[in-house]
């Protein structure tokens, strides 16, 4: 190696990964760490655990490659929130995890935010902030709010109070006007909100002590990050409007790059800004988890071999793990439909795969109806991406070219952000 390398890290739900790439996007090193369970007072000390993992990942980067790391960026789970002391960066309470809900804050949040705004959900960052503000007695004047990614990046650059407009969306930041809206700035807690940068913009040089401890170069930059699901989208390098990524994991999630911003709280549809475009998305409750209830992964592979993907299955199911669907149909009472079950398991699986593909197609057409750019090409991520028969079925049902995404790791997407910050 003689030229620059770019380091991305992903702090996901169960562990963290890193990817080190060059400017062509080739991977030079990658690795993974589970979060060690640091305990304090009988609860998991997540902040300590993330911090330890950050430095473990830096140690995992091969010593010989560290002098070439031109820039670093990272992503964290969306809406994972820390309230810290604005001068020391020390947490003033335990962190609020991404999935945690603070329904106590909803009445106030709903009274200040526009109807159906993204913050009007109990797990939004703003609800977490309001819940802390209303219950905690520690020094509110010196408090600062940071998202998980902001806090981990701060450990590297030392500039407290910086975030990015993807992480800041759920606290109420408006990426369209590039500012917090007036209804938020007029609140008594507005001084705790971080300043916001575009993901991938450089925040500053890596701190001297960390630089020398690990052997990173003198001008190594630390760049604004993003959320884990956006980093996973970035990994697919779908940079043109109309390019989309479907994640076929336990659930089905679709993301589409659009010229227009669309929002519809009924379907849980909202848009993240990506430069001058919008990343619109929706998530259905159908997906691989239902498959796993019926078939093992080995059975899925064997049975799929016998499916003729060119033939449409007449079976019409709505595979769900439990009652309720949000996207592309908003119906909290929707009942799972997996009957009649034919005698042949091949036909049964064909019917389920075809039905999930129909839900995916309906998802893309709903996004179009809501005003998004029409999908042109679909990349696939997640466990379902390896099923080539399913890919063929989906191509036929969607009427679009479908292929496996070459890269799906969020850490790779974060490395692309680091690359862009260094340019």
Pick 141 or 305: Cβ nearer ligand ADP: 305
Q: Which is nearer to ligand ADP, 369 or 388 (CB)?
A: 388
Closest CB to ligand ADP among residues 94, 292: 292
Interface region with ligand ADP, contact rule CB under 6 A, candidates 70-78, 107-115, 354-362, 380-388? 380-388
Instruction: Specify the pairing of strand 5-11 against strand 15-21.
Output: antiparallel
User: Minimum distance between the CB of residue 290 and ligand ADP, rounded to whole angstroms?
Assistant: 8
DSSP state for residue 337 in the 8-state scheme: B
- Round the CA-based radius of gyration of the chain to a whole number and report it: 22
- Work out how close the CB of 351 gets to ligand ADP at its nearest, in angstroms, rounded to a whole number: 14
Q: Residue 300: exposed, middle, or buried by beta-carbon count in 10 A (0-12, 13-18, 19+)? A: buried
User: Rule CB under 6 A: which of 167-186 touch ligand ADP?
Assistant: none
Token readout for 163 is: 């975030």
Cβ distance to ligand ADP smaller for residue 199 or 384: 384
Q: 114-117: long-range contacts (C-beta < 8 A, 24 or more apart)?
A: 114/183, 116/263, 116/265, 116/266, 117/172, 117/265
With binding defined as CB under 6 A, does residue 77 bind ligand ADP? no
Check binding of 280 to ligand ADP (CB under 6 A).
Answer: no
Q: Which stretch binds ligand ADP (CB under 6 A): 132-140, 159-167, 289-297, 315-323?
A: 289-297
Work out how close the CB of 229 gets to ligand ADP at its nearest, in angstroms, rounded to a whole number. 11
- Please state, in angstroms and rounded to a whole number, the distance separating the CA atoms of residues 240 and 254: 16
Whether 184 contacts 172, CB under 8 Å: yes
Six token digits for residue 116: 């159906």
As a whole number of angstroms, the distance between CA 165 and CA 41 comes to 34
Which of 386, 392, 396, 404 is the binder for ligand ADP (CB under 6 A)?
386
| Span interacting with ligand ADP, options 14-22, 132-140, 377-385, 415-423, rule CB under 6 A | 377-385
Residues near 324 by beta carbon (within 8 Å), at least 6 away in sequence = 285, 331, 332, 333, 334
Which 303-322 positions form the footprint of ligand ADP (CB under 6 A)?
A: 304
Residue 9 and residue 72 in contact, taking contact as beta carbons nearer than 8 Å: yes
Q: Is 176 helix (H, G, I), strand (E, B) or coil?
A: coil
Quick one: how many helices (H) and strands (E) in the chain? 12, 19
Positions 325 through 344 that interact with ligand ADP (CB under 6 A): none
Determine which residue in the list 291, 307, 315, 422 makes contact with ligand ADP, applying CB under 6 A: 291
Identify which of residues 65 and 289 has a Cβ nearer to ligand ADP in the complex: 289
Residue 254 has which token pair?
Answer: 């679709």
Position 362 contacts ligand ADP (CB under 6 A) = no
Residue 383 Cβ vs ligand ADP, minimum distance, rounded to whole Å: 2
Instruction: Please give the C-alpha separations between residue 128 and each of 120, 124, 135, 139, in angstroms, as whole numbers.
Output: 11, 7, 11, 17
Q: Report if residue 249 touches ligand ADP, rule: CB under 6 A.
A: yes
- What does each C-alpha distance from 197 to 15, 161, 230, 234, 360 come to in angstroms? 26, 11, 15, 17, 33
Q: How many residues sit in the footprint of ligand ADP (CB under 6 A)?
A: 16
307 or 422, CB closer to ligand ADP? 307
Which of 8, 95, 172, 382 binds ligand ADP (CB under 6 A)? It is: 382
In whole angstroms, what is the distance from residue 8 CA to residue 415 CA? 4
Cβ 371 to ligand ADP, closest distance in Å? 29
Nearer Cβ to ligand ADP, position 101 or 250? Answer: 250
The secondary structure element, H or E, covering residue 310 is: none
Among 28, 140, 237, 292, binds ligand ADP (CB under 6 A): 292
CB of 349 to ligand ADP, least distance (A): 9
- Asked if residue 300 binds ligand ADP (CB under 6 A), the reply is yes
Q: Which of 387, 393, 405, 422 binds ligand ADP (CB under 6 A)?
A: 387
Give the footprint of ligand ADP on this chain (CB under 6 A): 249-250, 288-289, 291-292, 297, 300-301, 304, 382-384, 386-387, 390
């Amino acid at each position: 190696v003689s030229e620059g390398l770019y380091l991305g890290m992903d702090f996901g739900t169960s562990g963290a990964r890193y990817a080190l790439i060059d400017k062509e996007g080739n991977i030079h090193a990658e690795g993974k760490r589970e979060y060690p369970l640091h305990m304090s007072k009988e609860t998991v000390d997540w902040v300590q655990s993330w911090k330890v993992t950050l430095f473990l990942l830096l140690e995992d980067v091969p010593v010989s490659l560290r002098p070439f790391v031109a820039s670093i960026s990272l992503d964290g789970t969306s809406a994972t929130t820390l309230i810290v002391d604005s001068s020391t960066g020390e947490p003033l309470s335990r962190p609020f995890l991404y999935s945690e809900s603070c329904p106590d804050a909803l009445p106030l949040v709903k009274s200040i935010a526009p109807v159906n705004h993204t913050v009007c959900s109990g797990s939004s960052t703003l609800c977490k902030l309001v819940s802390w503000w209303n219950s905690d007695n520690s020094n509110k004047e010196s408090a600062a709010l940071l998202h998980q990614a902001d806090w981990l990046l701060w450990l590297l650059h030392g500039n407290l109070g910086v975030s990015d407009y993807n992480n800041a969306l759920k606290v109420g930041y408006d990426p369209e006007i590039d500012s917090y809206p007036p209804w938020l700035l007029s609140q008594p807690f507005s001084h705790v909100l971080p300043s916001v940068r575009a993901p991938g913009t450089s925040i500053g040089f890596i701190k001297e002590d960390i630089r020398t401890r690990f052997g990173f170069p003198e001008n190594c930059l630390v760049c604004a990050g993003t959320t884990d699901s956006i980093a996973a989208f970035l990994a697919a390098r779908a940079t043109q409007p109309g390019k989309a990524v479907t994640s076929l994991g336990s659930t089905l999630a679709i993301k589409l790059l659009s010229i227009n911003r669309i929002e519809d709280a009924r379907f849980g549809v909202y848009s993240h800004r990506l430069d001058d475009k919008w990343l619109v998305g929706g998530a259905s409750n159908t997906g691989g988890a239902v498959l796993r209830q019926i078939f093992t992964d080995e059975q899925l592979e064997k049975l799929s071999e016998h499916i003729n993907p060119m033939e449409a299955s007449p079976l019409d199911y709505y595979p769900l793990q439990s009652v309720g669907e949000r996207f592309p149909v908003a119906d909290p009472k929707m009942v799972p439909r997996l009957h009649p079950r034919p005698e042949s398991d091949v036909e049964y699986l064909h019917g389920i795969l075809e039905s999930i593909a129909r839900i995916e197609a309906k998802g893309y057409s709903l996004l179009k109806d809501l005003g998004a750019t029409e999908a042109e090409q679909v990349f696939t991520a997640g466990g379902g991406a390896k099923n080539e028969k399913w890919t063929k079925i989906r191509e036929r049902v969607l009427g679009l070219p479908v292929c496996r995404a070459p890269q799906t790791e969020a850490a790779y997407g974060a490395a692309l952000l680091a690359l862009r910050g260094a340019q």
